Structure 1
Amino acid sequence: MTLIYGHRGARAEAPENTLPSFQKALDAGVTRVELDLHLSADQQLMVIHDPTLKRTTGLRGKVAQHTAAELTRMDARLGLPGWPTPCPIPTLEQLLQACPQIEHYQLEVKSGSERQSRIVLNAIMALVERYQLHDKVVVTSASRTLLRYAKRSGFALPTGLVEEYGLLNPLKSARRYGCQYLILNWKLCNAERLRQAQAQGLHVSVWTVNDAARMQQLINMGVDSLITDYPARAMEVSQGRG
């Protein structure tokens, strides 16, 4: 059975990576979500995709230049024009508190240096322990630096390689960094690659899958999970109602 993850909540239906967006996914019956993390100036985990504020808040500057208290007062609804009410940038902890119904998280870390990787992974682990989420989290990243550090440091949670372009063999890379998940751009997913990855014990998740026919094609192919901006549509397709 193919699992459904809401991409940044329900990105096409509510402002991405905000509490209303994750609630939209839950309202559709999707209890698994993918989201993005950046560090604030005071090293809190903020749920936001870009390193800068412009696209979703209209403000200048970088996420890392502001404290969590400042960021949670910013309105991040510009990603979906026409949304009627303010949508603050949430901390990861605020999301955990607001949506306890979420059963699994793909936490995509937008990280560069090894120092940043250490801080982010320690912060994630602290929240996982506080909220008893050990079986509910995989930390994913396109950053080889972060994945290398996670492996070398004996990080206790599953990790996943996010692969968009496939310039290097994604299966070899996932193995090299000790990943349990392979998060593929759907264009990189074919039956042979899927078969090889699953034979090596990898959970294959594909993104961002929004077209109903493509959802059905990938489900038929046997992907382990798909990530979508339209959780309600994906649920209909996966349940044979699409």
Structure 2
Amino acid sequence: MIARVTAGDGSKKPLVLAHRGARREEPENTIPAFTRALRQGADGIELDVHRTSDNSLVVHHDADTPELGVLANLTVKEIKLSRPDIPTLEEVFAACKNCLINVEIKNMPTDDDYDESNKTADLVVDLISGLDRQDDAIVSSFNMSSINQVLKLAPNMATGFLVSPVFDFVSALTLCRDNGHGALHPFMSMLAFDEGVEFINTSHQFGINVNVWTANEVSDIEYLISIGVDSIITDVPDTAIKIRDSLSS
């Protein structure tokens, strides 16, 4: 499902995933941002989801907005009345075909809508399965419990463990492997040293993909391609695609 792009010489090049869409040209986490990124040639998109009070899923980075407050306290209809630009996850899947959709579940204890029961994970699995889009999706989270719940409900659904530099790479990889997740999503700086290639090779030996966030500088994108990452999550998908394709030619 998450196969890398094959270059002309038969080598594998990473997928390019647009971080919240083409967010430098369109408002982030909106249908225009996602569809623009796909028109630019992105292999997929990355987005954030939150649960509403009527158990729907909306796409928005933060748990709240200045004008509405905490989204989990509102119905979809109430959200749409003030913010029609905030899409539901179902609307994004309808608008974005033939691409990879990285759904990040926002559910950390510090979040205003934190839910220890992982209801958001349940809803994400139900939606993706109901739409028969399992082959188009990977579900990620900083919360291991959330993606563990995804695997419990849907053992064949692709999942990724998101990690920040508070982890070292080896510890994060071990946690990812021990919990049965097929991808690690490290912050870029976790690979920015001499052991980067070794870390990627070790991950692949474990059968774990490495999808890196968020690479925007040309030198960083070139470096990540050179060490063999599986996906690059970026705010500049058009730039990343040009770099990848130029290195593939």
TM-score range, shorter chain: 0.7 to 0.9
1:123 CA displacement: 1.9
Shift in alpha-carbon separation, 1:114–1:151, aligned structure 2, 3 A = farther
Q: Are the structure 2 counterparts of residues 3 and 134 from structure 1 closer, same or farther at C-alpha, using a change threshold of 3 Å? A: same
Change (3 A) 1:62 1:113: closer
The C-alpha deviation readout for 1:105-135, integer Å capped at 9, x for no partner, is 11110124341x2x22332222223322121
Aligned residue number for residue 74 of structure 2: 66
Matched, 1:30 2:42: yes
Q: Name the CA distance, whole Å, in 1 between partners of 2:80 and 2:37.
A: 21
For the Cα contact (< 8 Å) 2:16–2:42, is it kept in 1? yes
Give secondary structure in 2 for the equivalent of 1:178.
coil
Q: In the alignment, what sits opposite 2:234?
A: 228
CA positional deviation for 1:175: 1.3
Aligned match for 2:182, one of 180, 183, 195:
180
CA RMSD in angstroms, aligned pairs only: 1.9
Runs of at least 4 residues off by over 4 Å: 151-155
Gaps of 5+ in 2: 1-12, 108-113
Per the TM alignment, residue 136 of structure 1 is displaced from its structure 2 partner at its CA by: 1.0
In the other structure, the counterpart of 1:88 is 85
CA separation of 1:216/1:64 partners in 2, compared to 1, >3 Å: closer, same or farther?
same
Distance 1:106 1:224 in 2: 13
Q: Which structure 2 residues correspond to residues 156-235 of structure 1 after superposition, within 5 A?
A: 156-167=156-167, 169-189=171-191, 190-235=196-241
C-alpha distance 99-152 of structure 1, shift in aligned 2 (>3 A):
closer
Q: Any idea what the Cα deviations from partners look like across 1:48-79, whole Å, max 9, x if unmatched?
A: 1111113xxxx15111111111222334xxxx
The structure-2 alpha-carbon separation of the partners of 1:152 and 1:127, relative to structure 1 and needing over 3 Å to count, comes to closer
Q: Distance in 2 between matches of 1:136 and 1:153?
A: 17
TM-score, normalization by structure 1: 0.86
Aligned counterparts of 1:93 and 1:152: Cα–Cα separation in 2: 22
In 1, are the aligned partners of 2:122 and 2:153 still within 8 Å (CA)? no
| Alignment partner, residue 134 of structure 2 | 134
Q: Deviations over 1:189-211 (max 9, x none)?
A: 22222121111111100011111
Q: Distance in 1 between matches of 2:50 and 2:37?
A: 22
Which stretch shows the higher mean deviation, 186-195 or 36-45? 186-195
Q: Structure 1 residues 199, 207: closer, same or farther in 2, change over 3 A?
A: same
Matched, 1:46 2:52: no
Contact 1:47 1:91 in 2 (8 A): yes
Identity %: 30
Do the aligned partners of 1:13 and 1:230 also contact (CA within 8 Å) in 2? Answer: no
Pairwise CA distance, 1:98:
2.0
Segments of structure 1 that go 5 or more residues without pairing to the other structure are 76-86
Q: Which AA in structure 2 matches 1:228?
A: T
1:107 matched to 2:93: no
Partner of 1:78: none
Per-residue CA deviations over 1:205-233 (Å, capped at 9, x if unaligned) read 00111111210111011111100111111
Q: Tell me the TM-score normalized by structure 2.
A: 0.83
- The answer to whether the Cα contact below 8 Å between 1:162 and 1:184 also exists between their aligned partners in 2 is yes
- Give how far 1:173 is off: 1.1
How many residues are matched? Answer: 224
Shift of 1:152: 4.5
